[in-house]
Amino acid sequence: MKYFPVMRRIWLIVCLMLAGLSARAQNLDSLVRQAMTSSHRGPHDTILVAGIVIGHDTLPYIGLPEVVITAEMPKRLRKRLEEWTRLRNAVYVTYPYARAASRILREAEAQLAAMPDKKARKEYIRKKEAELRATFGPQIENLSVYQGRILIKLIYRETGTSCYDIIKEMKGGFSARFWQTIAFFFGSNLKSTYDTQEDRDIEAIVQEIQHNPYYRYY
C-alpha cells in the first residue's frame, strides 16, 4: 500500500532531520573508503566470496545450509513466519533513515543553538526541508503505511525523542498536533515510543543488522 499525498508530507516533515546533501555526500565518501579497506568487499563494492574453477570459467562458490523438510508447516507457524518476514523487511528498509535521523538531529541542534534569532533558525529549517524533498522524497513516498509505523519507533530508538516532539521542536506545537491528528486517521501515532521488551522482535532484527558486515547504512 502506498501513502496518500497527505501522508507523504507527514513523512517528509517527520524525517526533516534525516539528511542534508552535504551530510549524505560525506557519508557516501566514508562508505567508499570502507569498501576499499574492508576484507568483505572488493574495490567496486563487490562482496568477496570463495571461487571454483570449472573448465575455463571461474564461478562464485557459496555453500548453503542443509534444509530438511519433514512436514507441511502448520498454519499458525506459517502466519507467524509471514509476520516476521514482513517486520524484518520493514526494519531493514527503514533502519538507515532512523540512523540518519540520530546523526542529523544532533548536527541540527548544534546549528540551531548557535543561531542568533528565530528568523535565522526558521530559514535553516526551511532549507533543510527543501534539501530533504529533493534528496529523499522518492524514497519516503515509497514507504508503506506499515513501514512508516516501524520508522516512527526506530527514530525514537535512535534519538530518544518521538517524531511528535521532533516536529514540535522544529515546526511548533500547532504543526505537531495537526500532523498527529492526520496520522491518527491513517492508523499511525507520531507519539509512539520504543521499548526493548515490548518491541523485542524489532530489537532482535536491529541486532541482526548491526552484526551483519554486508548491510549498507545510508
The pLDDT of residue 15: 55
The pLDDT of residue 102: 81
The pLDDT of residue 194: 92
* pLDDT digits 0-9 by tens, 23-79: 343 444 454 445 444 445 556 656 677 888 888 888 888 888 888 888 888 999 999
CA separation for the pair 136, 157 (Å, rounded) = 21
CA separation for the pair 59, 57 (Å, rounded) = 6
| Annotated domain spans of the chain | 1-16+75-213
Question: The C-alpha cell of 109 is what?
Answer: 541542534
CA separation for the pair 36, 45 (Å, rounded) = 8
The pLDDT of residue 27: 47
Name residues of the chain where pLDDT drops below 50. Answer: 1-6, 17-29, 31-33, 35-39, 218
The pLDDT of residue 215: 63
The pLDDT of residue 112: 78
CA separation for the pair 71, 77 (Å, rounded) = 12
The pLDDT of residue 200: 94
Buried b (16+ CB within 10 A) or exposed e, 44-58: eeeeeeeeeeeeeee
The pLDDT of residue 36: 43
The pLDDT of residue 10: 52
Crossing angle of helices 75-113 and 145-159, rounded to 10°: 50
